[in-house]
Amino acid sequence: MVTGIKKHHILVVDDDYEIRELLKNFLNKHDFKTTVAKNGTEMFSLLENKDIDLIVLDLMLPGDNGLVLTKKVREN
């Protein structure tokens, strides 16, 4: 990576640990900064404290599903 260029920060939200880690490793390997969350609660906590450029969100999460969480993100 060229010094001084900001890495894009991607938040991966999935309740499956193996999928989160697979996506995190793949994205990190391709020069993205990657953070993971296992549910909407973790996601919103991270969104308050981190500068996120893109969210990769599982639609079939337990509790609030991905569509509900997307609506909540868009409201803010």
Give one DSSP letter per residue of 18-67, joined into a string.
HHHHHHHHHHHHTT-EEEEESSHHHHHHHHHHS--SEEEE-SS-SSS-HH
> Residue 15 has what DSSP assignment?
S
Please indicate, yes or no, whether the overall pTM of this predicted structure exceeds 0.95.
no
pLDDT tens by residue, the chain, 76 residues: 456 678 999 999 999 999 999 999 999 999 999 999 999 999 999 999 999 999 999 999 999 999 999 999 999 8
